[in-house]
């Protein structure tokens, strides 16, 4: 059996004397879209930051079978691309320049790349449907357009593990579906996509596997149909799935 593209083993995180994650284990393979779901404060974003190498933690993270702790900054950047929920980028940079930032791991000490950089930027913009935005200024884009550009920047890295934190948050239905379809195509092309989602129907409709967290602990992990199931939803969210209602919810009787 091939090694998982990403694997967390008993990952724990403590911050300010508080346990954020406790003994969380999780794995996802190439060709997979894996959702990380759970209520607010469950530890979803924290786990994604751990996988991206942005937070100290207990336990182990492995990338394609190798201990992530032994990877240098540039090597990790070629393997993993991370798209945060909120970007601090507000510069009046052309979109192409923003996407080109994803190529830093391939540039020399003077920031010089090569023809492959231009090709990677063009391909990333095309894959996200953002080619039309190439000459516009990033800080003049709508929120949805910015999300596509930040995804394109991640794709320009050439990394085969993509980590996205709530990429559909605040997007309208069309833009959310467009972005999720891009993630599906990336996985079908051999990438491993790990995505934090709030909407359970998005996870059920667009993902292969899911990890359900609550209070920093694993509630369920496995095929999405087994994780986004009535018993787990009732336990974690305190609501009932309504049969044949396409992810309708109701409060349980007596609540």
The CATH number given to 6-250 is: 3.40.50.300
Mean pLDDT of all residues belonging to the chain: 90
pLDDT band at 47 (very low <50, low <70, confident <90, very high): very high
Q: What is the pLDDT of residue 6?
A: 97
pTM of this prediction exceeds 0.75: yes
For the segment 68-74, the average pLDDT, to the nearest whole number, is 87
Bridge partners of 161, per DSSP, are 80, 192
Q: What is the pLDDT of residues 206-241, one digit of tens each?
A: 999 999 999 999 999 999 999 999 999 999 999 988
Task: Judge residue 254's burial from the number of C-beta atoms within 10 Å of its C-beta, 0-12 exposed, 13-18 middle, 19 or more buried.
Answer: exposed
The answer to whether 246 and 200 have CB atoms below 8 angstroms apart is: no
CA gap 214, 173 in Å, rounded: 27
CA gap 201, 228 in Å, rounded: 9
pLDDT over 60 (residue 98): yes
Exposed e or buried b per residue across 137-172, where buried means at least 16 C-beta atoms within 10 angstroms of its C-beta: ebeebeebbbbbbbbbbbbbbbbbbbbbbbbbeebe
Q: What is the pLDDT of residue 243?
A: 66
Q: What is the pLDDT of residues 151-203, one digit of tens each?
A: 999 999 999 999 999 999 878 888 888 889 999 999 999 999 999 999 999 99
Alpha helices in the chain (DSSP H): 44-51, 73-79, 95-100, 115-127, 143-156, 173-188, 200-206, 224-227, 230-237
CA gap 86, 89 in Å, rounded: 9
């Amino acid at each position: 059996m091939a090694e998982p593209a990403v694997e967390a083993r008993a990952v724990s995180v403590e911050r300010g004397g508080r346990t954020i994650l406790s003994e969380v284990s999780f794995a996802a393979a190439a060709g997979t879209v894996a959702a990380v779901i759970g209520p607010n404060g469950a530890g979803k974003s924290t786990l994604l930051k751990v996988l991206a190498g942005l937070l100290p933690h207990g336990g182990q993270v492995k990338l394609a079978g190798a201990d992530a702790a032994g990877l240098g900054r540039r090597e990790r950047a070629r393997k993993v691309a991370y798209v945060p929920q909120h970007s601090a980028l507000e510069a009046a940079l052309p979109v192409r320049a923003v996407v080109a930032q994803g190529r830093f791991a391939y540039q020399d000490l003077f920031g010089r790349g090569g023809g492959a950089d231009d090709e990677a930027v063009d391909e990333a913009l095309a894959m996200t449907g953002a080619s039309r935005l190439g000459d516009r200024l990033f800080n003049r884009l709508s929120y949805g357009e910015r999300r596509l550009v930040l995804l394109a920047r991640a794709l320009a890295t050439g990394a085969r593990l993509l980590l996205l934190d709530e990429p559909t948050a605040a997007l309208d239905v069309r833009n959310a579906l467009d972005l999720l379809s891009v993630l599906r195509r990336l996985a079908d092309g051999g990438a491993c996509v790990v995505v934090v989602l709030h909407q359970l129907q998005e996870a059920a409709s667009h993902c292969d596997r899911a990890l359900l967290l609550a209070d920093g602990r694993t509630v369920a992990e496995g095929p999405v149909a087994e994780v986004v199931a009535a018993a787990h939803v009732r336990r974690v969210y305190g609501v009932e799935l309504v049969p044949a209602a396409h992810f309708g919810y109701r409060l349980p009787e007596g609540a």
